[in-house]
Amino acid sequence: MAVLDEISKAIIEGEDVKILTLTKAALDASVPAKEILDNALVLGIQKVGDLFERGEYFLPELVMAGNAMTRALELLEPILAKGDTPYVGKFLIGTVKDDVHDIGKNIFVMMLKGNGWKVTDLGVDIPPEEFCSMIEKGDFNVLGLSSLLTMTMARSAETIDALKAGGLRDKVKIMVGGAPVTQQWADKVGADGYAADAPAAVKVAASLVGKS
Ligand code: B12
């Protein structure tokens, strides 16, 4: 579909104003939000990642593409986060310390909200102590730790260790995710759940509270 290709191109070119016009036009033309997400936005940002990896893009292009993606997601958020699924549970999520990537986490948050979860999103660059304090004070069913850098995967492990040290580990189920994370790694660090993308992650989350 031409409009989806154009949206994808706007991400690749970091056009954060044009992308709003295009995304609004697609929604007005009744293109489903989920289709815009999967077949335009995610494809576009993946292409940006490829260009960066090949040395054809540098940090400024990554920043511009990330901003354009965030603007478009803000338009889709009210649609994707709306759902009539009955209440499932309380989910605490954040991107771990030293990591500022939040696009994938935000997509997961929208889908959780649209599937009956009450979500508290702490944002990015969250140290283990902050996760621990929230778990101690709150009554969350699941904690989600997002890490997009190989280096910050270790921060998820440190957060799980800090919860153990504080006697809080058994209070909550833990999910880990983000592009470099694997099931094998999740098992290694003692997480309860992992998924490679948001739709699969929503199913795993429900299964962790016996509501799959
Ligand atoms: C956009 C982007 C940025 C933007 C982020 C903007 C933002 N607001 O998020 C900016 C410009 C800030 C950025 C910075 C950097 N980035 Co960057 N970035 C990317 C890029 C291109 C896209 C990431 C993304 O949004 N993907 C799309 C989403 C939809 O996918 P996702 O995040 O994987 O999320 C899905 C799943 O993983 C899952 N999920 C996500 N979180 C969670 C959590 C849980 C609990 C669960 C269950 C599931 C789950 O659901 C999501 C939706 O389906 C990737 C390339 C790539 N291929 O990933 C590089 C990439 C992640 N970045 C990289 C690098 C190196 C950097 C920098 C170090 C660059 C630099 N020299 O400074 C900095 C680090 C800054 C920091 N301290 O964090 C590398 C990481 C390499 C590595 N393995 O360590 C990558 C892979 C690029 C590359 N190919 O080299 N980046």
Report, as an integer, the average pLDDT of 183-211.
97
CA-based torsion, 197, 163, 119, 146: positive or negative: negative
Q: CA separation (Å) from 120 to 8, 93, 172, 185?
A: 30, 6, 14, 25
Of the pLDDT bands very low, low, confident and very high (cuts 50, 70, 90), residue 212 is confident
pLDDT tens digit sequence for 164-192:
999 999 999 999 999 999 999 999 999 99
CATH architecture observed for domain 89-208? 3-Layer(aba) Sandwich (3.40)
Whether the pLDDT of residue 1 is over 80: the answer is no
Residue 149 CB-half CA count within 13 A: 14
What pLDDT is attached to residue 85?
A: 86
Tell me which of 2.60.40.10, 1.10.1240.10, 3.30.450.20, 3.40.50.720 is the CATH number of domain 2-80: 1.10.1240.10
What pLDDT is attached to residue 84?
A: 82
Give the percent of the chain with pLDDT over 90.
97
Whether the pLDDT of residue 160 is over 90: the answer is yes
Query: Would you list the domain boundaries of the chain?
Result: 2-80, 89-208
What pLDDT is attached to residue 91?
A: 98
pLDDT tens digit sequence for 70-126:
999 999 999 999 988 899 999 999 999 999 999 999 999 999 999 999 999 999 999
3-class DSSP state for residue 177? strand
Residue-averaged pLDDT of the chain: 96
Nearest to 160 by CA among 148, 151, 172: 172
Query: How far is residue 186's CA from residue 39's CA, in Å, rounded to a whole number?
Result: 28
Residues with CB under 6 A from ligand 1: 42, 45-46, 48-49, 52-53, 59, 62-63, 65-66, 70, 98-105, 107-108, 144-146, 148-151, 175-180, 195, 197-198, 201
Report, as an integer, the average pLDDT of 19-47.
96
